[in-house]
């Protein structure tokens, strides 16, 4: 590699292999990947990188061997992985090396790689957003992804009880009025015959995909009319993974950090706090200055944790509540349905910037942006500053709030 042009067209794995020295992994991997029989074993770093390549490309072991023996690409892979082109491991070698290898082993490799890239400044360890103070920590964007199981779904009601002894099973399908299974045959001796033993923790979920706003130009033109075609969404039988992504505004990209892995029907917010605790254990020196998430993260326990424990900004979309349409309730709690603060007199507050030194947010109150309350109700709540004519835009005042009020979901949007 002589210039940056040599890196053009390479994917993430090829870039990492060329830029990162994996030799410090050798003593650690040697404890797991070793052989006591036959000729001298292959280098554990080589076996490990080859398995990571297969996982990255989603290749089977035969496909990996095909690529390593390829006349066009094989020589390049062998050079980067440290393999002798005339002595390439067989598929059974990779299977034996990875047999009973816990998922934590892959997680440790990921952490080691990220810590090395942080030490070189490639992965940011502080906020990269223009104008942020240098002491502000990184921005973490939360994201969940549905992953299909290896097995084909046989019953959408599969759960952990399907693998209990027959006398302890309770068929969830029958509880929902479906045919289900009585589990009274020999085929159900170990587990329900409609369950998938290779993916015992897999569950079914339908993701409705309801995050498209009503004002979108792609929305249906016939409001209030039942659609003839089924609503858009995604059926998934499998699992859900959560990633904690470090936002890199220098590259307009993010660096993903693996988080919890759970059945597909588990709610996103239930994985957030365990994921943060695990993240702080894995990266104890990583400072978090902002947490970005959708409305699925807008629960009080998460908001308080981000504010009280992480001391970070909360850029989290507000959750809708049935009380959002009641102006009196919005006035009592201090913010409207969109998370915009309101003053005690019922006027919406316009965001007017951060005061980082004092830890406050500045809002301006404009009378013409009232919450929907009558003039009498606003005056009854202490609206002594209102003019009698209540003319448009006649009053303006400045209000200061502390950062990140407990009841506000998103008050610190950039």
Per residue in 124-161, pLDDT (tens digit) is 999 999 888 889 999 999 999 888 888 899 999 999 88
Query: CA 35, CA 298: separation in Å to the nearest integer?
Result: 50
Q: Note whether residue 82 is domain-resident.
A: yes
Domain interval for residue 335: 322-402
Q: Which of 47, 79, 101 is the last residue of a domain?
A: 101
Q: Note whether residue 112 is domain-resident.
A: no
Query: CA 336, CA 326: separation in Å to the nearest integer?
Result: 9
Residue 273 confidence (pLDDT): 94
Residue 414 confidence (pLDDT): 34
Query: CA 272, CA 143: separation in Å to the nearest integer?
Result: 10
Q: Note whether residue 30 is domain-resident.
A: yes
Q: Note whether residue 24 is domain-resident.
A: yes
Q: Which of 53, 81, 101 is the last residue of a domain?
A: 101
Query: CA 217, CA 395: separation in Å to the nearest integer?
Result: 36
**Between residues 5 and 325, the one the model is more confident about:** 325
**Between residues 182 and 234, the one the model is more confident about:** 182
Q: Note whether residue 380 is domain-resident.
A: yes
Residue 166: partners with Cβ closer than 8 Å, 6 or more residues away: 183, 184, 188, 189
Q: How confident is the model at residue 366 (pLDDT cuts 50, 70, 90)?
A: low
**Between residues 164 and 364, the one the model is more confident about:** 164
Q: Which of 81, 101, 121 is the last residue of a domain?
A: 101
- Mode of pairing for the β-strands spanning 347-355 and 360-370: antiparallel
Residue 360 confidence (pLDDT): 64
Q: Note whether residue 207 is domain-resident.
A: no
Range 299-310 average pLDDT:
90
Query: CA 136, CA 127: separation in Å to the nearest integer?
Result: 6
The count of domains in the chain is: 2
Q: How confident is the model at residue 408 (pLDDT cuts 50, 70, 90)?
A: very low
β-sheet bridge partners, residue 240: 146, 262
Q: Note whether residue 230 is domain-resident.
A: no
Task: Classify the C-alpha dihedral 125-145-15-9 as positive or negative.
Answer: negative
The mean-pLDDT minimum among 111-120, 166-175, 234-243 falls in 111-120
SS3 readout for the chain: CCCHHHHCCCCHHHHHHHHCCCHHHHHHHHHHCCCCCCCCCCCHHHHHHHHHHHHHHCCCHHHHHHHHCCCCCHHHHHHHHCCECCECCCHHHHHHHHCCCCHHHHHHHHHHHHHHHHHCCCCCCCCCCCCCCCCCCEEEEEEEEEEECCCCCCCCCCCHHHHCCHHHCCCHHHHCCCCCCCCCCHHHCCCCCCCCHHHCCCEEEEECCCCCCCCCCCCCCCCCCCCCCCCCCEEEEEEEEEEEEEEECCCCEEEEEEEEEEECCCCHHHHHHHHHHHHHHHCCCCCEEEEEECHHHCCHHHHHHHHHHCCCEEEECCCCCHHHHCHHHHHHHCECCCCCEECCCCEEEEEEEEECCCCEEEEEEEEEEECCCCHHHHHHCCCCCCCCCCCCCCCEEEEEEECCCCCCCECCCC
The mean-pLDDT minimum among 4-13, 261-270, 282-291 falls in 4-13
Which tokens is 309 given? Answer: 């424990």
Residue 50: partners with Cβ closer than 8 Å, 6 or more residues away: 64, 68, 81, 83, 89, 94
User: What is the chain's length?
Assistant: 414
Query: CA 267, CA 89: separation in Å to the nearest integer?
Result: 42
- Please say if the pLDDT value at position 20 is more than 80: no
In this structure, are residues 29 and 106 in contact, taking their beta carbons and an 8 Å threshold?
no
Range 165-190 average pLDDT:
90
Give the mean pLDDT of the chain: 77
Q: How confident is the model at residue 405 (pLDDT cuts 50, 70, 90)?
A: very low
Q: Note whether residue 251 is domain-resident.
A: no
| Statement: the pTM of the whole predicted model exceeds 0.75 | no
Residue 413 confidence (pLDDT): 34
């Amino acid at each position: 590699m002589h210039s940056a042009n040599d890196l053009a067209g390479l994917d993430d794995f090829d870039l990492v292999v060329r830029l990162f020295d994996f030799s410090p992994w050798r003593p650690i991997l040697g404890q797991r990947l070793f052989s006591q029989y036959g000729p001298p074993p292959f280098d554990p770093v080589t076996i490990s990188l080859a398995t990571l390549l297969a996982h990255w490309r989603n290749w089977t072991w035969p496909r990996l061997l095909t690529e390593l023996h390829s006349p066009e690409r094989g020589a390049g892979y062998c050079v980067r992985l440290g393999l002798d082109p005339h002595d390439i491991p067989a598929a059974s070698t990779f299977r034996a090396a990875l047999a009973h290898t816990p998922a934590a082993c892959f997680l440790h490799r990921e952490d080691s790689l990220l810590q090395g890239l942080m030490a070189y400044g490639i992965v940011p360890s502080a906020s990269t957003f223009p104008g942020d103070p240098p002491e502000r920590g990184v921005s973490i964007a939360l994201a969940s992804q549905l992953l299909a199981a290896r097995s084909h779904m046989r019953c959408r009601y599969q759960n952990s009880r399907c693998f209990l002894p027959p006398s302890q099973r309770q068929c969830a399908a029958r509880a929902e009025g479906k045919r289900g299974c009585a589990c009274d045959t020999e085929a159900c001796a170990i587990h329900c015959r409609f369950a998938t033993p290779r993916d015992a923790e897999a569950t079914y979920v339908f993701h409705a995909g309801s995050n498209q706003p009503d004002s979108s130009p792609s929305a249906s033109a016939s409001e209030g009319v039942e659609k003839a075609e089924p609503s858009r969404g995604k059926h998934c039988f499998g699992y859900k993974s959560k990633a904690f992504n470090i936002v890199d505004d220098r590259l307009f990209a993010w660096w993903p950090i693996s988080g919890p892995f759970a059945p597909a029907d588990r709610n996103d917010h239930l994985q957030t706090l365990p994921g943060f605790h695990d993240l702080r254990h894995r990266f104890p020196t990583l400072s978090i200055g902002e947490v970005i998430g959708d409305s699925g993260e807008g629960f009080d326990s998460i908001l308080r944790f981000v504010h009280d424990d992480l001391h970070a900004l909360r850029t989290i979309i507000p959750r809708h509540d049935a009380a959002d349409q009641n102006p009196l309730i919005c006035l009592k709690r201090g913010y409207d349905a969109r998370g915009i603060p309101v003053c005690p007199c019922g006027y919406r507050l316009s965001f007017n910037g951060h005061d980082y030194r004092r830890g406050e947010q500045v809002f301006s109150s404009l009378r013409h942006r009232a919450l929907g309350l009558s003039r009498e109700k606003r005056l009854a709540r202490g609206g002594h500053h209102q003019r009698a004519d209540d003319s448009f835009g006649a009053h303006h005042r400045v209000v200061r709030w502390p950062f990140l009020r407990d009841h506000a979901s998103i008050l610190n949007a950039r």
